[in-house]
Homo-oligomer: A and B are copies of this chain.
Amino acid sequence: MVEPNVTDVKKYFIDLQSNICDELGAIDGKDFVIEELNTLTGGSSKPRVLEDGEYLEKAAVNFTHSIGSSLPKAASARNPGLQGKSFEAVAISVIVHPKNPYVPTFHANLRFFLVDKDYWHFGGGFDLTPYYPFPDDVLHWHCTAAKACLPFGPDLYSKLKTWCDDYFYLQHREEPRGVGGIFFDDWHKTSFESSFAFVRSVGDHVLPAYLPIIQRRKDLPFGSKEEEFMLYRRGRYAEFNLAIDRGTKYGLQSGRRIESVLASMPPRAIWKYDWKPQSGSAEARLYEDYLRPRDWIAELT
């Protein structure tokens, strides 16, 4: 039996970060910048960002290793006795804002939090935010998510898909952020070994879920109307990240390096007062056909 440990998870996250940056960089033709930053408490971070690429307007693949001397109250709700204990956390977050409006914005995150052999958990998932969706892409995305979950239980995908729909929701707009994916938090099942195996499965499916979509759509011709709609919809992304996302809120409040926390922000965004898509347009179809909870796999196959 493997004891819960940060070392193994860290190694997996760092390798995953390299793979993701290599593959995305190869598609784009531009490399991700490499930085290594140390924190005063002995932690470290490796933010890797690519801006103004050929296909990627902005992509950030960040790794963080946090070491804390006193477990925050918010993190110890499940076990209040541990409050004030030292802890460690490692996390990888991925965000891709493509240039082409036919390529969806993509987000993935995996995290591990350890106090001792009894108090630890994983969290994470991946979700997709298209502007001009193709049913094939959404189906591929959700099938890949389902594949990542299948070895860990027949109902797991469905549970994490609903969790994702619930989390990535803009209450103030009564709108989902996109077409979802999978999401899990406070994940502590059976053993560290089996939980970590599940998290690796999710991580291993991040690139297979996204790469075929960007490959298929990155060279589609588009005009200023499509670009403007993408920028308008990116406003929703900014609203979600700044006003709703718990990870960003925690980052803003906890004094983490702000440029890493906000590396997920869209490179450009616009807001138009009371704008609505024209009835029957491709833009209206996004709202009508995609921005509502659907059982994608059952409905699209």
Question: Which of B231, B258, B263, B268 meets A172, CB within 8 Å?
Answer: B258
**Beta-carbon contacts under 8 Å, A239-259 to B:** 239, 242-243, 248-249, 251-253, 255, 258-259
Q: A172-B252, A239-B242 are known contacts. Are A269 and B269 too (CB-CB below 8 A)?
A: yes
- Complex Cα gap A255–B265 (Å): 25
B242/A238 in contact, CB under 8 A: yes
A208 shortest CB reach to chain B, Å = 27
Known interface pairs A173-B258, A265-B271, A268-B269; 17 further A-B residue pairs with C-beta atoms within 8 A, sorted by A's residue number: A47-B273, A49-B274, A51-B272, A51-B273, A58-B271, A60-B273, A172-B251, A172-B253, A231-B268, A238-B238, A238-B242, A242-B242, A242-B243, A243-B243, A243-B248, A243-B252, A267-B271
Task: For chain A, residues 28 to 69, give those with C-beta under 8 angstroms from any C-beta of chain B.
Answer: 47, 49, 51, 58, 60
**Alpha-carbon separation in the docked complex, A270 to B57 (Å):** 12
A58 to chain B, nearest CB (A): 7
CA–CA, A261 and B274, complex, Å = 11
Residue of B171, B262, B265, B268 touching A268 (CB-CB under 8 A): B268
Interface size class of chain A, counting residues whose CB lies under 8 Å from the partner chain: 35 or more
A72 at the interface (CB under 8 A from B): no
Question: Once bound together, how far apart are the Cα atoms of A243 and B263, in whole Å?
Answer: 15
A172 to B265, CA, bound (A): 15
Question: A274–B263 Cα gap in the complex (Å)?
Answer: 8
> In the complex, what residues of B have CB within 8 A of residue A242's CB?
238-239, 242-243
Residues of B within 8 A of A274 (CB): 49, 259
How far does the Cβ of A232 sit from chain B's closest Cβ, in whole Å? 10
- Beta-carbon contacts of A224-243 to B below 8 Å, as 1s and 0s? 00000001000100110011
Q: Report if A268-B270 is in contact (Cβ < 8 Å); known contacts: A242-B239, A258-B172.
A: yes
Q: Which residue on B lies nearest to A245, using beta carbons?
A: B243
Q: Which residues of chain B have C-beta atoms less than 8 A from A249's C-beta?
A: 243
Can you list 17 A-B pairs, Cβ within 8 angstroms, ordered by A? A49-B273, A172-B251, A172-B258, A173-B258, A235-B265, A238-B269, A239-B262, A242-B242, A242-B243, A243-B243, A243-B248, A259-B273, A262-B271, A267-B270, A267-B271, A268-B268, A268-B270
Taking CB atoms, residues of chain B closer than 8 Å to A51 are: 272-273
Question: A176 at the A/B interface (Cβ < 8 Å)?
Answer: no
A273 touches B238 (CB 8 A): no
A266 at the interface (CB under 8 A from B): yes
Residues on B with C-beta less than 8 A from A171 are 252
CB distance from A228 to the nearest CB of B (A): 11
Between A172, A261, A266, the greatest number of chain B beta carbons within 10 A of the residue's beta carbon is seen for A172
Chain B positions within 8 Å of A58 at CB level: 271, 273
Closest-CB distance, A16 to chain B (whole angstroms)? 21
Residues from chain B with a CB closer than 8 A to the CB of A272 are: 51, 267
